[in-house]
Structure 1
């Protein structure tokens, strides 16, 4: 029997904190064979990333690690630090979730890849440059000779992830650890990255340890799957077997957490709440002292109609204009065209005239941690809008409203004295929703509100949004690149590409019978339209 490439036996990781040890990984044992893809799945906090970080011996000093991690028979927990540095990058490489935080913003991408080649292969000068160009070409970066001098911010999200893959493959590793490498990407870019990884895996014969919470990807990408929860390995086996006959209730719950169901349609005679016609948004990309400025048109003549109680889903790739359209409808961006909210033409109102309307139109953003001030308590964050729009409220009345908003989103009002970092991702998103609800709005712009969440947490947030809509007759503009979530939440869908509407219709019509090739491609990329 062939010895596995990677063997983990009884791995335990505890974090030694001032108030006691916290177990993060508990007696995990698994194997990764040469050339195979093993998926490690589970919710946030399940121990997936701690396990992968332990393999690389990159855990913080407060971590106590026990057990054995053997790579080609060599115990990585026992080898000297110098040997571990030789293995990292050379034979074991990593691709992280967010390439923008992994790449140095001050250095050109070519120089960052050259550094890997210099440290591990001793390549310099023209040889290093030629190798970098070859790597960028292999991962599908267009015009690699020109892009070698680009900075990370000059690339798209998908291109930055390709650069990270190029860096990981620079030394042709035998094991690639891919930690949520597609979570922040659109479905089409995600599909491209997965295809790229499979192609490179065949070319180099490497094994992949793929860490994710997206079971849709696992089903189509991995040979075998290991399911983790609260630091324990609950189930493992061939992917098709685990999906067909899960042995553990938690695995079944993860599979069932995939977005499902559909929204009840609004009444035909429901009044129109928001309407826009020939909406256009453009940004100056080059201002000249003499002559005409150059502009980029991000939204190009779009019509939108939203009835009370309706959910309109807007889908498309990054750069398609989804978020720009949403912000323009809320008058957070300057635009041309007509916008009516209820019976008011808001298209040309100034900031002072818009203020009374603002409390009726609220927004929930993608990243709850980034949109919540770390310096304020949850109670202060939720009550901030009340101080602005209802200065007549006394402190006690404000506090009562904050407590009611927290109860609406199924959070304990007693937690309002805590800070955002003390909550999980799903709880933080509920706090962001409570902040919007406390003003009792009629319209909510939901800009990728579930894309940063685990599937199981995502399911609870989706159900919460459905319930709040039923309870308060809310109208949603739901922006997402996750088509499964859009299908579960929206009455109708608008598909955007390059600032224009490619296709629109009811959710059922569009998902069952997409007319445009671009829409069909989006669905195939999301594993929703294989038969299309």
Structure 2
């Protein structure tokens, strides 16, 4: 590849390897890429293609068992092998990165304002107090409501989308030369996606900043990127202008990616199907502000008198913007967090059940979390993670039987069972989400709440996971609550849809009715944003 005069990052022969108990995994196999001043380069491909590991290798952020080779020159200065003290002068100032999973990137012990101020203080000097005005401006810029109040909030007090916006503010703090955005809109609802992308474009034009966009969302790529590089199994199979890639793809693999889209529809259960889970007049309040010995706190109602009834074999899709209360409602229905109202699982009133009384029921009611990396122990192998629930609910199983069940579960979710001896950090975001699904499914539950289960997956894998969930549902009469901001997936997966805003249900009904003739303006705006109407 010939380097042009406006190239500010030249990648040549880049390799990334991981040493594992099963041998060396070649994650990136000698690729060449150029990043040009002021452009947006999209790096796309399925989970495990090496997209994220390419950039992590350049930034010197690989796990301990990872090694990087080849060349990555930023404005002529070689980054590979640069001492950390010298690399730190570039990272966070000239080249910054928005990570795929914000909850694991933000320190739970510090307010978000201090964390955003850290790169400002490190690279520009001054105190955290001096940086406060800049932090407030950044919070407002990325769309965090009430920045004066939120600046002192902790990560766990924010929704997934709000945490991602904090990461974007932190990355933009020093007006970088290159912004590497690894799935920057994965945790965001469709309306906020458009705002964030518009913000990034505005900043790009203002500062002449180059953006490397790592994503599985080809809809975003089509409207946002100047050039596209398609990766598969650690290699670049095709690259060119966005128009050329979308209009005249030369690789069969690229053609497959462009054709992938969630399809099909879910038939509703019979009216006579028994109710598996019911939450009536569910309300959840959080105390915010104040401290252990100080006053000044107030109550925030995250879920406000919501009623949900889930039947056997049914899939209820819950949609709404970040902070609408979707995930909080799911956890309240499983009695994982306290909430007012009436709760029933099957024929059992569980409204007053404490943790001990709920424990025997946990096998029957599983949860797949939104953030797969945060829910997977970095100290356990994949096999240990997937079989962890068997120790609690089937303690008499032999080691050989647990291993057999792990192999079956991993195969069922589309992972190589040989991967059970590896650790979570060795997998892509999409692969980690499939591990989390396998962990839930190995117990053969009757009810599963899926909180953004496909948010980290590329479109082709989304279709595979949807088909997997459908097969499991048909085989075992499973009931799902499917929480997502991806309306195309909800449309394919659900037979009933609940639309939430500010903790309340604004509209609900059968899937076809909601998507074809929504009654509320808010629902219409979500659908229009999702399908680029």
Where on the TM-score scale, by shorter chain, does this alignment land: which range?
0.7 to 0.9
Of 242-251 and 159-168, deviating more is 159-168
Q: What residue number does 1:280 align with?
A: 283
1:4 and 2:12 correspond: no
Indicate which of 188, 191, 194 corresponds to 1:188: 191
CA contact (8 A) 1:386 1:398 kept: no
Correspondence for 2:456? 452
CA distance in 1, matches of 2:471, 2:514: 24
Alignment of 1:154-233 (within 5 A): 157-233=160-236
What's the offset of the Cα at 1:310? 1.1
Is the Cα contact below 8 Å between 2:95 and 2:177 reproduced in 1?
yes
CA–CA distance in structure 2, aligned partners of residues 154 and 55 of structure 1: 32
Q: Which of 337, 361, 366 is the aligned partner of 1:362?
A: 366
Is the Cα contact below 8 Å between 2:313 and 2:473 reproduced in 1?
yes
1:127 Cα deviation (Å)? 7.2
Written as runs of structure 1 = structure 2, the 5 A alignment for 1:102-501 is 102-103=105-106, 116-117=119-120, 120-121=123-124, 131-141=134-144, 157-284=160-287, 295-349=299-353, 354=358, 357-372=361-376, 385=389, 388-389=392-393, 395=398, 399=402, 402=405, 406=409, 409=412, 418=421, 421=424, 429-501=433-505
* Range with bigger deviation, 35-44 or 128-137: 128-137
**C-alpha distance 413-60 of structure 1, shift in aligned 2 (>3 A):** closer
CA drift of 1:124 comes to 6.6
Deviations 1:45-99 (A, max 9, x none): 323234334554666896353246353xx24359976876655455433333344
- C-alpha distance after superposition, 1:449-479 (max 9, x if no partner): 2223333333222111011111222111111
Deviations 1:117-154, CA, capped at 9 Å, x for gaps: 45545567997565555545544455656666666556
The one of 9, 15, 27 equivalent to 1:13 is 15
**Structure (1 or 2) with the larger CA radius of gyration:** 1
Report how far residue 226 of structure 1 moved.
Answer: 0.9
Tell me the distance in 2 between the aligned counterparts of 1:172 and 1:414: 44
Q: TM-score, normalised by structure 2?
A: 0.81
Q: CA contact under 8 A between 1:234 and 1:248: conserved in structure 2?
A: yes
Q: Deviations over 1:162-193 (max 9, x none)?
A: 44444444443333222322223333333322
Q: Does 1:52 align with 2:55?
A: yes
CA distance in 1, matches of 2:405, 2:307: 36
Distance 1:347 1:482 in 2: 31
Q: Distance in 2 between matches of 1:301 and 1:30?
A: 53
**Cα 1:339/1:419, change in 2 over 3 Å:** same
Deviation at 1:497, TM superposition (A): 1.7
State the secondary structure of the residue aligned to 1:469: helix
474-483 or 270-279: bigger deviation: 270-279
1:184 partner SS: coil
CA RMSD of aligned residues (A): 4.2
Shifted more, 413-422 versus 477-486: the winner is 413-422
Residues 380-402 of structure 1, C-alpha deviation per residue, up to 9 Å, x if partnerless?
655555555566x5648964983
Change (3 A) 1:358 1:228: closer
Does the residue aligned with 1:481 lie in a helix, a strand or coil? coil
Aligned length: 526
Judging changes above 3 Å, is the alpha-carbon distance between structure 1 residues 488 and 119 closer, same or farther for their aligned structure 2 residues? same
Unmatched segments (≥5 aa) in structure 2: none
- Structure 1 residues 513 and 76: alpha-carbon distance in aligned structure 2, compared to 1, 3 A threshold: farther
Please say if residues 69 and 80 of structure 2, whose CA atoms lie closer than 8 Å, have aligned partners that are also in contact: no
